[in-house]
Amino acid sequence: MRSEPESFRARTLSASLTVKDLAKSLAWYHDVVGFSVEREHRREGTLRAISLSAGDVRILINLDDGAKGWDRAKGEGFSLQMTTDQNVDEMAQRIKQRGGTLESEPADMPWGARMFRLRDPDGFKLTISSARASS
């Protein structure tokens, strides 16, 4: 009989996204969604990446240098799923007021969450959810 390996105990998960336009992505994540800038990463004096955070969520947006081709599909088969204790209806409204477009309006899910979806300028999908308020 095989013994079970020691289980992996991760503490955090950070996403690293390759984007075509760093300034546009920064404006979207910071100004529209509300992430905070943690750090700018420069190489030879040129801004190449930005570390962002929202609570315990960390995202690194990296400038795509085009070396692998600009036509690479972005965001397909991948999504960022974030939970919050904030009111997702109010959050979705703020995102729309700041120029963001939702893929789906906040809705109650059968498993007890209330959530909405949106895409960043490169097509990466984000889902933001909270526990549904009990009635």
pLDDT tens, position by position, 5-15? 777 666 667 88
CATH of the domain at 109: 3.10.180.10
Q: How far is CA 7 from CA 10, 70, 108, in A?
A: 10, 39, 33
All residues at 6 or more sequence positions from 67 whose CB lies less than 8 Å from its CB, including other chains = none
Total tally of structural domains belonging to the chain: 1
Q: Would you say residue 105 lies in a domain?
A: yes
Q: Would you say residue 116 lies in a domain?
A: yes
Q: Would you say residue 32 lies in a domain?
A: yes
Q: Rank 3-7, 33-37, 107-111 by mean pLDDT and report only the highest.
A: 33-37
The reported pLDDT for the residue numbered 66 is: 63
The reported pLDDT for the residue numbered 32 is: 96
Residue 69 identity (one-letter amino acid): G
Q: Would you say residue 19 lies in a domain?
A: yes
Integer Cα distance of 33 and 119 in angstroms: 11
Other Cβ atoms less than 10 A from the Cβ of 115: the count is 22
4 pLDDT tier (thresholds 50, 70, 90): confident
Q: Would you say residue 49 lies in a domain?
A: yes
Checking DSSP bridges between strand 113-119 and strand 36-43, what pairing results, if any?
unpaired
Q: pTM, whole model, 2 decimals?
A: 0.77
Q: Would you say residue 26 lies in a domain?
A: yes
Q: Would you say residue 70 lies in a domain?
A: no
Check pLDDT > 60 for residue 135. Answer: no
Q: Would you say residue 9 lies in a domain?
A: no
Check pLDDT > 90 for residue 33. Answer: yes
Helical spans, DSSP H, in the chain:
22-26, 88-97
Average pLDDT of 89-112? 94
Integer Cα distance of 65 and 21 in angstroms: 10
Beta bridge partners of 46: 43
Give the structural domain span for 115: 14-65+75-131
Counting Cα atoms < 13 Å in the Cβ hemisphere of 66 gives: 4
